[in-house]
């Protein structure tokens, strides 16, 4: 998929070294649920090779360089959990919002997603801003496991349903 500034493409074994460098930064890992710290190339390769069939994961490229990951895990009921992260050098430029918007459009239009859910740790204000820009609505307080910090932390949960226009088109086809 292409956006105005980004290319979203399949994640491959050759990405493991770059993923390890970007996601291995404490400031990145400590704001995610699943990235351990420290994080090395071997762990990144294991993650790439362990992606499940129900996981739609895309490498985010900017000018030919991998800058992060965005994707979702789909459930049989039509729900999908959205996730994303960017290398610290790429924060604050709107890339996460741009990539996640494209991934959600793909999920709604091509992958049968009826509702996206996501959450962020309460101390991750940047992710909260991305989620709001994507049109998610707060659904409640929660907790979230942080692999890097090795604990459950306060979090907020959100949801975004497929737009009615897409739902109507899906029924008509």
Domain CATH for 152? 3.40.630.30
Domains in the chain: how many in total?
1
Q: Structure tokens of 141?
A: 């307080």
For residue 106, the SS3 value is: helix
Average pLDDT over residues 38-54: 95
Distances from the Cα of 135 to the Cα of 11, 70, 130, 132, 160, angstroms: 26, 17, 9, 5, 7
User: In which element (H, E) is residue 20 found?
Assistant: helix 16-23
Query: What integer is the mean pLDDT of 3-27?
Result: 98
Within a domain: 40 = yes
In-domain check, residue 31? yes
Residue 53, pLDDT score: 84
Domain containing residue 63? 7-172
2 domain-assigned: no
- Does residue 1 lie within any of the structural domains? no
Q: Output the pTM of the full model.
A: 0.93
Q: Does some domain include residue 42?
A: yes
> Does residue 17 have a pLDDT over 60?
yes
């Amino acid at each position: 998929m292409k956006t105005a500034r980004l290319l979203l493409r399949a994640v491959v074994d050759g990405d493991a070294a770059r993923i390890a460098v970007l996601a291995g930064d404490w400031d990145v890992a400590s704001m995610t649920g699943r990235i351990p710290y420290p994080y090395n190339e071997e762990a990144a390769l294991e993650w790439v090779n362990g992606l499940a069939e129900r996981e739609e994961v895309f490498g985010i490229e900017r000018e030919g360089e991998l800058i992060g990951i965005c994707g979702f895990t789909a459930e049989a009921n039509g729900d999908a959990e959205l996730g994303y992260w960017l290398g610290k050098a790429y924060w604050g430029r709107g890339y996460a919002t741009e990539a996640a918007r494209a991934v959600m459009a793909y999920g709604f239009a091509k992958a049968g997603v009826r509702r996206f859910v996501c959450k962020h740790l309460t101390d991750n204000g940047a992710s909260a801003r991305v989620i709001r820009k994507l049109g998610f609505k707060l659904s409640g307080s929660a907790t979230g496991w942080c692999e890097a910090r090795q604990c459950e932390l306060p979090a907020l949960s959100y949801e975004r349903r497929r737009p009615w226009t897409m739902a109507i088109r899906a029924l008509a086809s």
